[in-house]
């Protein structure tokens, strides 16, 4: 397998979009903070945006950002959005960085369950280490959580299988690598749109105001027809990998 940097291979962009985009529900692509920072993120942290190739074919990919974190729970960024903001604003302010924050990892459909996600994490960690990023954290979006939209993230995080392993497969991958759960990343992503936006993103109708279960959402979407607004506040789980220090 070959590890390449996304920016070195713009020719693979269409293949990546095809391989990865269907992995997430449409609404996650409409987070205002992500829209504000995403282009600068890829510009400022190109070495932390990688693809795993096998004979030229994209198997998996992932990206992260570099930011400053003092190692305490209170100094964790406010989830995914907060990490993007801290990384980009910190970079522009010339702040020194010590932490790799893993933002997203995806494996193409036919390559899942082969341990490739761990290979992506390892490759990103190696690149982070080259830049003296001694801490590794991630605002993880547990892949099984959409099946339990009524459970709080705290409750979900405490669930284990009979064999003692975590119930969530994606969380298991991290924990098997020696990582630990730090706690809930509350309001990790906040997505707002008009009712028509939400109907388009989800393919559902929202006939009156109230809470809705939406496919792919980790929690509920709140629809307010009078204000013509839908709001989704997604909690994630902060996970910390073994420090390199």
Ligand X SMILES: CC(C)(COP(=O)(O)OP(=O)(O)OC[C@H]1O[C@@H](n2cnc3c(N)ncnc32)[C@H](O)[C@@H]1OP(=O)(O)O)[C@@H](O)C(=O)NCCC(=O)NCCS
Which residue, judged by CB position, is nearest to ligand X in the bound state? 169
Count the residues in the chain: 245
Pick between residue 143 and residue 229 the one whose CB is nearest to ligand X. Answer: 143
Pick between residue 11 and residue 113 the one whose CB is nearest to ligand X. Answer: 113
Work out how close the CB of 22 gets to ligand X at its nearest, in angstroms, rounded to a whole number.
9
**Is 237:157 a contact under the CB 8 Å cutoff?**
yes
Element holding 49 (H helix, E strand)? strand 49-54
Work out how close the CB of 137 gets to ligand X at its nearest, in angstroms, rounded to a whole number.
13
Pick between residue 108 and residue 135 the one whose CB is nearest to ligand X. Answer: 108
At residue 3, the 3 state secondary structure works out as strand
Pick between residue 35 and residue 225 the one whose CB is nearest to ligand X. Answer: 35
Pick between residue 98 and residue 108 the one whose CB is nearest to ligand X. Answer: 108
Pick between residue 23 and residue 229 the one whose CB is nearest to ligand X. Answer: 23
Cα 20–chain centre separation: 13
CA 145 – CA 122 distance, rounded (Å) = 24
CA 57 – CA 62 distance, rounded (Å) = 15
Work out whether the CA dihedral 28, 2, 46, 8 comes out positive or negative: negative
Work out how close the CB of 112 gets to ligand X at its nearest, in angstroms, rounded to a whole number.
4
Work out how close the CB of 194 gets to ligand X at its nearest, in angstroms, rounded to a whole number.
26
Other residues' Cβ atoms within 10 Å of the Cβ of residue 145: 25
Element holding 154 (H helix, E strand)? helix 153-157
Residues at the interface with ligand X (CB under 6 A): 23, 104-107, 112-118, 141, 143, 169-170, 172-173
Beta-bridge mates of residue 222: 211, 231
At residue 72, the 3 state secondary structure works out as coil
Work out how close the CB of 208 gets to ligand X at its nearest, in angstroms, rounded to a whole number.
31
Pick between residue 114 and residue 225 the one whose CB is nearest to ligand X. Answer: 114
> Which tokens go with 208?
């009156």
Work out how close the CB of 162 gets to ligand X at its nearest, in angstroms, rounded to a whole number.
12
Other residues' Cβ atoms within 10 Å of the Cβ of residue 17: 10
Work out how close the CB of 236 gets to ligand X at its nearest, in angstroms, rounded to a whole number.
9
């Amino acid at each position: 397998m070959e590890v390449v940097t996304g920016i070195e291979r713009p020719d693979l962009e269409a293949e990546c979009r095809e391989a990865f985009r269907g992995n997430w529900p449409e609404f996650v692509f409409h987070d205002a903070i992500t829209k504000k920072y995403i282009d600068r993120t890829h510009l400022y942290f190109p070495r932390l945006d990688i693809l795993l190739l096998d004979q030229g074919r994209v198997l998996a990919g992932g990206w992260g950002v570099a930011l400053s974190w003092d190692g305490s729970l209170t100094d964790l960024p406010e989830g995914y959005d907060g990490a993007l903001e801290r990384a980009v604003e910190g970079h522009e302010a010339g702040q020194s960085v010590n932490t790799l924050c893993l933002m997203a990892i995806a494996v193409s459909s036919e390559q899942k369950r082969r341990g490739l996600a761990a290979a992506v994490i390892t490759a990103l960690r190696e690149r982070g280490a080259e830049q003296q990023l001694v801490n590794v954290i991630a605002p993880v979006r547990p892949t099984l959580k959409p099946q339990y939209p009524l459970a709080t993230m705290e409750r979900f995080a405490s669930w284990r299988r009979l064999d003692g392993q975590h119930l969530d497969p994606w969380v298991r991958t991290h924990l098997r690598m020696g990582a630990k759960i730090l706690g809930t990343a509350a309001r990790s992503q906040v997505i707002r749109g008009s009712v028509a936006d939400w109907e388009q993103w989800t393919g559902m109708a929202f006939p009156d105001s109230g809470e809705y279960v939406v496919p792919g959402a980790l929690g509920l979407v709140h629809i307010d027809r009078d204000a013509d607004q839908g709001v989704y506040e997604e909690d994630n789980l902060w996970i910390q990998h073994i420090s390199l220090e």
